[in-house]
Amino acid sequence: MKENNKKVIDEYLDYLKYNKNYSDKTILNYKLDLEDYFKLLDREGIKYKDVTYDILMNLFQYYETKNLVNKSVRRHISAIKGFYKYLTLEGIIQDNPFNLVSLPKSAKKLPRYLSYNELLEIFHSLEIKTPYDLRDRLILELLYATGVRVSELTDIKLSDIDYSNQSIRILGKGEKERIVYYNDVVKDLLKDYLKDYQQLNKKGENYLILNYHGEHLTTAGVSYIINEVIKKISFNKHVTPHMLRHSLATHLLNNGCDLLTVQELLGHSSISTTGIYTHVTLDEVKKVYQNCHPRGEKKN
């Protein structure tokens, strides 16, 4: 990549990090998308400042040839669109070629979740013989009790926990803070876990969840732990950390919790994101309706 192109991309990524508070993961994805875009421009002999709406439309056909799903196309285009908005704000270009470009609609997938009985089966399958077994049970229970994202879970520090109020301060997407709450089951697990914490904490960490080396556990580490738990019980579903978050949201709504409260607990910036869970709860309503209505589904 040409040096001046690399420079403008780096400056834009710094802007996202320090001015927009984007996460490191999002910035890395934007970097890869922009590098891909600039390679395409170089191949076509086009300078980024000379791109017009018509040129963009031709370039976007490239994404069609890659057979990307809508979500990936949206991310690619979003990265480039944000870049041109930045160029306009900084006065580097006068006219934004993206002013007439709209992102493709993303297909909404219903979230996969576990029933309460399935969760109990998983939780109770863990025999607690070592401090690490206790940690693994705490991970599972915390994900379901609080609905935090796995990255938020691994970033919890001891100083974030208010034991008297059974709450945890979470630093979520965009550096936004919120408070989540945990139940008495987690309270008891947490109490037992902290008794052995110094035994696990070999390197003076302040993070709540530690790995076998006494270091900050990664999100990949959490996924590995959950996979190992599921393998041991021959569970018939693939379970991810995010499914526990989906399960909490679904169960709260099924039990009468309002949408705004669920939005706040999950840390969604838009209630439309939370609204996808209502599709799941409506499925439950339909089942009850068909079972209870005199003219519901025919009974054998």
Which entry of 17, 74, 173, 178 is annotated as an active-site residue?
Answer: 173
Of residues 166, 171, 169, the one with CA closest to residue 181: 166
* 251 belongs to the catalytic site: no
* 277 belongs to the catalytic site: yes
Which entry of 31, 74, 178, 242 is annotated as an active-site residue?
Answer: 242
* 246 belongs to the catalytic site: no
All residues at 6 or more sequence positions from 122 whose CB lies less than 8 Å from its CB, including other chains = 114, 140, 229, 230, 233, 235, 239
Which entry of 84, 182, 193, 277 is annotated as an active-site residue?
Answer: 277
H or E element that contains 265: helix 259-266
Which entry of 76, 135, 251, 268 is annotated as an active-site residue?
Answer: 268
* 47 belongs to the catalytic site: no
* 293 belongs to the catalytic site: no
* 74 belongs to the catalytic site: no
- The C-alpha angle 282, 287, 293, rounded to 5 degrees, equals 115
Which entry of 76, 81, 149, 246 is annotated as an active-site residue?
Answer: 149
Distances (CA, A) of 286 to 280, 282, 292, 296: 10, 6, 10, 10
**Distance between CA 208 and CA 156 in Å, rounded?**
6
DSSP at 94:
S
Catalytic positions are 149, 173, 242, 245, 268, 277
